Amino acid sequence: MFVLVLLFILITAISIKLQRERRGLQQKMMLAVAGDDSDMKIVPPSGMRTPPKDEGELAAMEFVTQKKNGNIQKAYALGDKIAALLFAENGPVLTLCEISDQPEIRLQRKVLFSFVTNAVLNAGLPSILAETAFQEISSQIRQTDPLLHEQINDSKTLSFYLLCGNGKGQFEQIGEAFARLCGKKDDQQMIQLGENLFHAYEKLCRQMIEETQFCQ
């Protein structure tokens, strides 16, 4: 009986000690939480993801990046250079492959050059730079030659060339489209000229992009 009483007293003492230690630990934790929390970090629950940025935010971030490294300014300069070629009286737009004297053919050469320029810019540059360069070209065309600007943005004219796309970034039967827009639908010489001009303009635009030396 005496042994049982001693055992009961021992167990009670140990229990009291453990309770005191637990209360002391809780008090320390509360003091730590109530103290300086300047370096505390909020950790999201496991499995939660940061909401994805929308397209507008991503485009804004891309613009800031390209502006900081100087590419936006280079895109404006490229657009200015291309527009200058477009309006040069004896420039490559009107003299490559062969010289064209008829007003309608000269107009359609410029329309084709504008279409090729837009396609090459979008294929060879990030969208923000391609858009910046072509907006500069379009702005200068609108100010310098309203008729050309109207033709370039005419949905019927654009459809002739857009339908030549094969969905793989390549264009077929451009010559036929060019000849039809020039009013010479079945003229084989005009069809061939359109094909030759397309490839010549494409090469010229790619060369100008390389010479601009955009930052990667």
Residue by residue, DSSP assigns 59-81 as HHHHHHHHHHTTHHHHHHHHHHH
* Domain extent for 120: 67-212
* Residue with the larger pLDDT of the pair 13 and 63: 63
Please indicate, yes or no, if residue 37 is contained in any of the structural domains. Answer: no
Q: How many domains does the chain have?
A: 1
Please indicate, yes or no, if residue 190 is contained in any of the structural domains. Answer: yes
- For residues 37-46, average pLDDT: 51
Please indicate, yes or no, if residue 147 is contained in any of the structural domains. Answer: yes
**Per-residue model confidence (pLDDT) at position 32:** 41
Q: Is 213 left (phi over 0), alpha (psi -120 to 50) or beta?
A: left
Mean pLDDT of the chain: 81
Please indicate, yes or no, if residue 123 is contained in any of the structural domains. Answer: yes
- For residues 165-188, average pLDDT: 87
> How far, in Å, are 20, 21, 27, 31, 37 from residue 34 at the CA level?
21, 20, 10, 5, 8
Other Cβ atoms closer than 10 A to 74? 19
Q: How confident is the model at residue 10 (pLDDT cuts 50, 70, 90)?
A: very low
**Per-residue model confidence (pLDDT) at position 205:** 96
pTM score of the predicted model: 0.72
pLDDT tens for each residue of 91-143: 999 999 998 889 999 999 999 999 999 999 999 999 999 999 999 999 999 99
pLDDT tens for each residue of 62-71: 889 888 999 9
Please indicate, yes or no, if residue 127 is contained in any of the structural domains. Answer: yes
Please indicate, yes or no, if residue 26 is contained in any of the structural domains. Answer: no
Please indicate, yes or no, if residue 39 is contained in any of the structural domains. Answer: no
User: Between vectors from CA 126 to CA 112 and to CA 205, what angle results, nearest 5°?
Assistant: 30
Q: How confident is the model at residue 77 (pLDDT cuts 50, 70, 90)?
A: very high
